[in-house]
């Protein structure tokens, strides 16, 4: 598409937008009496207006039924998590058997590493990207230490080439091949939180398997943001949060994927809990753990119903729209945002104060997020944008992260951002 930096053009795109009605299904934050331009769905998605009703339904059933709500409520709590299998499987490209919603993200990452990072005397290394999200780094470090190993020797980090911002996928594969039979596990953020780069998960998984290692991904910035085909790519495990692109509330529940080839392996080590026990024998309360032959077998506790209700409100919207339509609009929105940043940058006439997009331009390597280095400006520029009603995200030392979301952001939002950016730079 040929973009134009004009309000008329933005309004025309909004009028043609087949998803425009969904903006009204979300609460848009209002500050100082004015709707904000909310570009932080990559950090915390906005609240669907239906969330309150979904949670109220469970509160009403709790009030009416007490413990009997597990079986007599409108959405019986006993099997509440089962409602997510079908819609979540479509979002991450899995079978229904391979996914389950439970716990929170880093809890799930650690639980999965118990099963898929099984170091031996000779095969003990684990590979991740440099500048992974801190929680991932901490989890990997402690998994290694818990195995009695030194993280300096056991963790391999892959960095961008000198002078570059993102990591070449071929460099990841080269490092996997070099590690060879010393490599026990690959665990990479499928979408890098800092740059927004999407890694070639299919190729990385194949390379890991070729040397005999397991391969998994933290999809905190992937689920609901990019096309995923976890089953087809033969990924061993993955986990994600629901509060970013999936709009399910602060600290919302997480989800996990475990490939079906592992689901039926009841001998695969894991931390056990009663909700992962075979359903037919769960309430016999007997000794001896016999896990469910699906991703449900990694559950430890029964469902946190109130947070899952918020998750269901959001996922029902996703299921209604479908990832195909979301991704189609996403490319237009984020492409327009890139165009506006480039247009403003051109007006700076090559000065030492410039805007540098570090997110890959190739759509196979990125999602909604656009990360911009504010060269020569510092945090003052970000603070000025915030005062003018742009809710974005700052990452040290000088990166502004923005992610227009197809469910609730408009093309007018993008245009208005450009006007605010020009004003902030002038100031």
pLDDT, position 354? 87
Q: pLDDT above 90 covers what percent of the chain?
A: 93
pLDDT at 331 over 90: yes
pLDDT band at 347 (very low <50, low <70, confident <90, very high): confident
- What pLDDT does 1 receive? 86
Q: Looking at residue 427, what is its pLDDT?
A: 81
**pLDDT at 282 exceeding the cut of 80:** yes
Q: For strands 254-258 and 237-240, give the pairing.
A: antiparallel
Residue 405 has pLDDT above 70, yes or no: yes
Q: Residue 356's CB: how many other CB atoms inside 10 A?
A: 14
Kindly list the structural domains of the chain, giving each domain's residue range(s) and its CATH number in brackets, ordered by start.
7-47+323-426 (3.90.1150.10), 54-320 (3.40.640.10)
Say whether pLDDT at 376 is over 90. Answer: no
pLDDT computed for residue 29 by the predictor: 97
pLDDT at 352 over 80: no
The model's pLDDT over 252-272, given as tens digits with 9 standing for 90+, comes to 999 999 999 999 999 999 999
Would you state the pLDDT for residue 350? Answer: 62
Average pLDDT rounded to a whole number, residues 101-122: 98
Q: Worst-scoring range by mean pLDDT, 7-21, 294-308, 372-386?
A: 372-386
**Cα–Cα distance between 299 and 268 in angstroms, integer?**
14
Give the least confident one: 81-95, 167-181, 384-398.
384-398
Whole-number Å distance between alpha carbons of 392 and 383: 10
Q: With contact defined as beta carbons under 8 Å apart, do 225 and 253 qualify? A: no
355-371 pLDDT, tens digit each? 999 999 999 999 999 99
Confidence band, pLDDT 50/70/90 cuts, at residue 375: confident
Q: pLDDT tens across 175-209, in order?
A: 999 999 999 999 999 999 999 999 999 999 999 99
Instruction: Note the pLDDT tens digit of each residue in 120-175.
Output: 999 999 999 998 999 999 999 999 999 999 999 999 999 999 999 999 999 999 99
Q: What is the pLDDT of residue 32?
A: 87
How far is CA 183 from each of CA 83, 143, 207, 234, 259, rounded to the nearest angstrom?
A: 37, 15, 11, 18, 20
What is the average pLDDT across 234-249? 98
Percent of the chain with pLDDT over 70: 100
Average pLDDT of the residues in 403-415: 98
**Would the pTM count as exceeding 0.75?**
yes
Residue 377 has pLDDT above 90, yes or no: no
Structure tokens at 233: 């790519």
The residue with greater pLDDT, 22 or 378, is: 22
Residue 378, pLDDT above cutoff 90: no
Section 72-86 average pLDDT: 97
The pair phi, psi for residue 183, each rounded to 5°, is -90, 125
Average pLDDT rounded to a whole number, residues 217-240: 98
Q: What is the mean pLDDT of the chain?
A: 96
pLDDT at 351 over 80: no
pLDDT of residue 391: 97
Evaluate if residue 417 carries a pLDDT over 90.
yes
Bridge pairing between strands 30-31 and 34-35: antiparallel
């Amino acid at each position: 598409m040929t973009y134009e930096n004009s309000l008329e053009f933005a309004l025309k795109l909004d009028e043609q937008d087949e998803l425009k009605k969904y903006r009204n299904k979300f609460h848009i934050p209002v500050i100082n009496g004015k709707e904000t331009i909310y570009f932080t769905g990559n950090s915390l998605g906005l609240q669907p207006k239906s969330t309150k009703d979904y949670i109220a339904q469970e509160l009403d059933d709790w009030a009416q039924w007490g413990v009997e709500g597990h079986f007599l409520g409108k959405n019986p709590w006993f099997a509440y998590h089962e409602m997510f299998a079908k819609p979540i499987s479509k979002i991450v490209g899995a079978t229904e058997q391979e996914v389950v919603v439970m716990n929170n993200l880093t809890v799930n990452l650690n639980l999965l590493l118990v099963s898929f990072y099984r170091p031996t005397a000779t095969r003990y290394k684990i590979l991740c990207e440099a500048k992974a999200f801190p929680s991932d780094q901490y989890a990997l470090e402690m998994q290694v230490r818990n195995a009695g190993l030194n993280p300096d020797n056991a963790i391999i980090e892959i960095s961008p080439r000198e002078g570059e911002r993102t990591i070449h996928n071929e460099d990841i594969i080269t490092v996997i091949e070099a590690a060879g039979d010393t490599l026990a596990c690959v665990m990479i953020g499928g979408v890098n939180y800092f740059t927004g780069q999407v890694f070639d998960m299919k190729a990385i998984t194949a390379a890991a398997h070729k040397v005999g290692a397991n391969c998994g991904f933290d999809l905190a910035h992937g689920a609901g943001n990019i096309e995923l085909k976890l089953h087809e790519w033969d990924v061993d495990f993955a986990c994600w949060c629901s509060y970013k692109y999936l709009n399910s509330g602060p600290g919302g529940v997480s989800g996990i994927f475990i490939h079906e080839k592992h689901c039926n392996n009841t001998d695969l080590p894991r931390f056990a809990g009663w909700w992962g026990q075979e359903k037919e024998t769960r309430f016999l309360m007997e000794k001896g753990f016999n896990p469910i032959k699906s991703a449900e077998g990694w559950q430890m506790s029964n469902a946190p119903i109130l947070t899952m209700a918020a998750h269901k409100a959001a996922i029902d919207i996703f299921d209604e729209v479908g990832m195909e339509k979301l991704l189609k609009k996403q490319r237009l929105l984020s492409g327009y945002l890139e165009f506006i940043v480039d247009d403003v940058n051109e007006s700076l006439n090559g000065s030492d104060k410039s805007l540098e997009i570090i997110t890959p331009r190739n759509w196979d390597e990125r999602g909604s997020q656009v990360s911009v280095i504010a060269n020569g400006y510092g945090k003052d520029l970000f603070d000025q944008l915030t005062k003018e009603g742009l809710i974005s995200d700052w990452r040290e030392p000088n990166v502004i992260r923005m992610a227009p979301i197809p469910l609730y952001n408009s093309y007018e939002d993008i245009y208005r951002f450009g006007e605010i950016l020009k004003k902030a730079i002038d100031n």
